Amino acid sequence: MLSETPSLKNVFNHADQLSGAQAKALASALYANASYIDDLGVLSPAVERICQKHVSRYVQPEQYDIVGNCLLGAMKEVLGHALTPEIHTAWAVAYRQLAGLMIGREAQVQKSEEVTSFYLEPQVKNGESKRPLPSYHPGQFISIRTDVPQLQHLQPRQYSLSDAPQPEFYRVSVKRETGLDPLHPDAPEHPDINSNILHDHKEVGDVIQVSHPAGDFFVDVMQQRDKKQPLVLISAGVGLTPLLSILKSLVESGSTQPISWIHATRSSTVQAFASVVSVITQRCENVHAVVFNKLPSE
């Protein structure tokens, strides 16, 4: 797996690979998942520990497919004819179920109390194969159009893409907006109705209308990654989303230019992607972060 996908060497600990600890951990997780397939709640404490570690190691949703394919290939190589098509399918389903649980939990860990990330995948009709999504420059946005019952018509809302470009999905990270005056429950609803609809009414599998990426605020990674002059990314609150896309894209491209991440937040409880930025700064000597916290005691 590591020879076919060298980028995963940045995720898996080398010492754990040599000692066999990583392989044992994966095998134990899969065995436990199969043992409690009808009562997965038993695994919650173990899943939580794994997810917290995955977030600290910057594990991405698309990497689960790579590990899953290699895992099934290894099972075929070791078991041979004993791995019947029925057993192969059962293990594939069990792995996807476990991966889905972890991906969902890790997305929650990476968000804040106010911001939730939504992963948008293209709708695939029967008989069609999934095609890669149109790419974009980090910093650009998409428009999401949702039906607003109280207005009785559709409403568009633009959201910055918050991840480095991926062919399988778009990610937007949306802030929940409370009433215009949170201290008074009878106050009018916040005018940003679309964001609250995404938070309160949309479920996994729902279909929404999404535009192609657009926007003139972006970084061309191919032109930027070899530059040596410092790059400064300044944001506040949920305004970090386009800059996070830029930061992750540059890091993944191998850029060595000095990058300063400067962010302002009300408190640590509402600071989105704090763990993601922390991992990047720990791994990349050229990236430095400064966070201004208005209420550091919270």
Residue from 182, 181, 162 nearest 239 by CA: 162
Residues 34 and 24: beta-carbon distance below 8 Å: no
Indicate which residue of 58, 64, 159, 170 is catalytic.
64
User: What tokens does 78 get?
Assistant: 């070791």
Q: What does 84-135 look like in DSSP terms, one character per residue? A: -HHHHHHHHHHHHHHHHHHHHHHHHHHS-SSEEEEEE-----TTPPP-PPP-
Name the amino acid, one letter, at 34. A
Q: Residue 83 in 3-state DSSP?
A: coil
Sequence-distant contacts of 175-184: CB under 8 A, at least 24 apart: 175/114, 175/115, 175/237, 175/238, 176/114, 176/115, 176/116
Q: Which residues of 219-249 are buried (b: 16+ CB within 10 A; e: fewer)?
A: bebeebbeeeeebebebebbebbbbbbbbbb
Has 106 been annotated as catalytic?
yes
- 3-class SS of residue 198: helix
> Do 250 and 219 touch, CB atoms closer than 8 A?
yes
Q: Is 64 a catalytic residue?
A: yes
Catalytic residue among 58, 95, 106, 159: 106
Active centre residues (catalytic): 64, 106
